[in-house]
Structure 1
Amino acid sequence: MEFSPFNNVVKLCLQGMSMEEKEKPEEALALFLQGWKEATNDHEKFLAAYYVSRHQKTVNDQLRWLETALEHALKINDDTVKSAFPSMYLNIAKCYEDLGNTEKSKANAELAGMYKNNPSDKGPFYHGTKADLQIGDVLTAGGNSNYKSELTMNHIYFTGLVNGAGLAAALAKGDGRERVYIVEPTGNYENDPNLTDKKFPGNPTRSYRSEAPLKIIGEVKDWVKPSPEELQRFQEKLEDHKGEIIN
């Protein structure tokens, strides 16, 4: 299941997070529980249970919901879900530590370490830009950030979602035509820490970064361009962004 903000359970989780930001935990929990009630597959149940776990008043209840979320996540052969395993196992380890079960705490912490910074996603991968490039060219780190022009980036970024790359192309600086290239990492890569485990568990947008170059192996001609309204909304979010970029 590809992550989609239009999925009904995802929308309920987004509404719940909005209530969290407004410091209305009871309303947030009600929305997350509604998501759990309406979930029809393991992916939706994983997401809803994860958020329900954040609002439990006892360690035992938090652990029960975290392990429920993990139970459904383990049934899904999906890279976006696997990227949530490090933080989930760490949270479970913390629960067991608080309960005095050092053996299970250590075991879960070791599982977290096994999954950390070891993306299982094998692509295909995409990079969105306004640059006119050719097959065989390489993209390298060292350019200025699209989000903070004064910041020189130490990594080159890419995604496993073609429409996500299309959005990046639309937001990219320059006057050229938006292009989405198929790219091949030439070295190790990691989950993008600016997006991983932020609002959603793991890396649902399949966003990655590498210090090594990306080789262009093709170009996608058919992808969904964001509407002017969607693009304006994302640009406003970028302008309002006050956090630091992890570089």
Structure 2
Amino acid sequence: MGEVLDEGPFFHGTKADLKPGDLLTAGFRSNYRPEVVMNHIYFTALSNGAGLAAELAAGDAPPRVYRVEPTGAFENDPNVTDKKFPGNPTRSYRSSEPLRLVAEVTDWTRLTPEELQAWRDRLAAIRADQRAEIIN
């Protein structure tokens, strides 16, 4: 698998209601640019980072954070690493291989309504900026 980037544990945020053993795969629409179908599944070593992704995910279901295990090789997420944040302070990763769901995590910090709206406003500005692209 090459160089170990992070020992984890790892987390994935979504609005999907899943159970241990489920596999999370690439091939779904981006939460940040819905017109883009993603070639990778994204995850982080920070449970609150996964919580943010869960809060921003499409749909009306409650946000959920899951502890996951990569089933194959993974890399630093190029959408945040070096391009926006030197190094990888967000401990964000992606893989073209599935993630195995281990357990739901409930002790992550929820955003306030004001914080969530600020993030939604930022995403709307990014979507409106045609130069802002996702490295897929």
TM range (shorter): over 0.9
Q: Is 1:225 the counterpart of 2:114 in the alignment?
A: no
Matched, 1:244 2:129: no
Conservation of the 8 A alpha-carbon contact between 1:156 and 1:209: yes
After TM superposition, the runs of 4+ consecutive aligned structure 1 residues lying more than 4 A away are: none
With a CA cutoff of 8 Å and minimum separation of 6, indicate the structure with the bigger relative contact order: 2
Larger radius of gyration: 1
Query: What's the offset of the Cα at 1:134?
Result: 0.4
Distance 1:132 1:200 in 2: 31
Specify the alignment match of 1:160 in structure 2. Answer: 45
Q: 1:177: Cα distance to partner?
A: 1.2
Write the distance in 2 (CA, Å) between the matches of 1:160 and 1:119. 13
Q: Higher strand fraction: Structure 1 or Structure 2?
A: 2
Alpha-carbon distance in structure 2 between the residues aligned to 1:142 and 1:133: 17
What is the rounded CA distance, in whole Å, between the counterparts of 1:216 and 1:124 in structure 2?
Answer: 12
Q: Tell whether the 8 Å contact from 1:182 to 1:220 is kept in structure 2 after alignment.
A: yes
d(CA) in 2 for partners of 1:175 and 1:203? 30
Provide the alpha-carbon RMSD of the alignment.
1.2
In the TM superposition, what whole-angstrom CA distance separates every residue of 1:192-243 from its partner, at most 9, and x where no partner exists? 0000013431110000000000000111111100111111111111111121
Secondary structure of the residue aligned to 2:94 is strand
Percent identity of equivalent pairs: 64
- CA–CA distance in structure 1, aligned partners of residues 115 and 41 of structure 2: 25
**Which of 81, 90, 94 pairs up with 1:196?**
81
2:5 touches 2:75 (CA, 8 Å); kept in 1? Answer: no
More helix, by proportion: 1
Pairing 1:175-186 to 2, within 5 Å after superposition: 175-186=60-71
Does the CA contact (< 8 Å) of 2:10 and 2:67 recur in 1? yes
SS of 1:165's equivalent?
Answer: helix
Structure 1 length as normaliser, TM-score?
0.52
Within the alignment, does 1:126 sit opposite 2:126 as a pair?
Answer: no
